[in-house]
Amino acid sequence: MKEQPGITVRDVMRTSVTEVDGSIDVMEAMRVMKRVGATCLVVRKHHEHDEYGMVLFSDIAKQVIARDRAPERVNVFEIMAKPVIAVRPDMSLRNCARLFERFGISHALVIEDDAVVGIVSYYLIVLGGLDLD
């Protein structure tokens, strides 16, 4: 397998991003994820000097289901990652994959002009960035 030359995060990122408030409970977050077909949600900033958060399916599995906590009694802000690592849309896929490995993450927000424009994951990097022929 060989990386395609010139492929950037913008070329593979998911642009359909769902934002939620951190005060919703995990049960509602799971309903939203199911409705929109997402495996992660962006948690909105509370004010302009705040940072974005993110909640993944794996956060729910590890911090709610595995610990036998009631999802309707746990708020998203209790289990989310915040602040999250963000990348630029023009970052190369190779550098993005290296960043993921270095920091032990599987997803990152894609930020442009102080706004979330997408999400990138290992899944998207591998399927979108490699020539499998």
Is the model's pLDDT at 1 over the cut of 50?
no
Confidence (pTM): 0.86
Q: Phi-psi region for residue 98, left (φ > 0), alpha (ψ -120 to 50) or beta?
A: alpha
Cα 8 from Cα 47, distance rounded (Å): 30
- pLDDT digits over 25-59, tens only? 999 999 999 999 999 999 999 998 999 999 999 99
- pLDDT digits over 15-33, tens only? 999 999 999 999 999 999 9
Tell which residue, 47, 36, 54, 57, has the closest CA to residue 109.
Answer: 54
Q: Say how far residue 22 (Cα) sits from the centre of its chain.
A: 15
Kindly list the structural domains of the chain, giving each domain's residue range(s) and its CATH number in brackets, ordered by start. Answer: 2-131 (3.10.580.10)
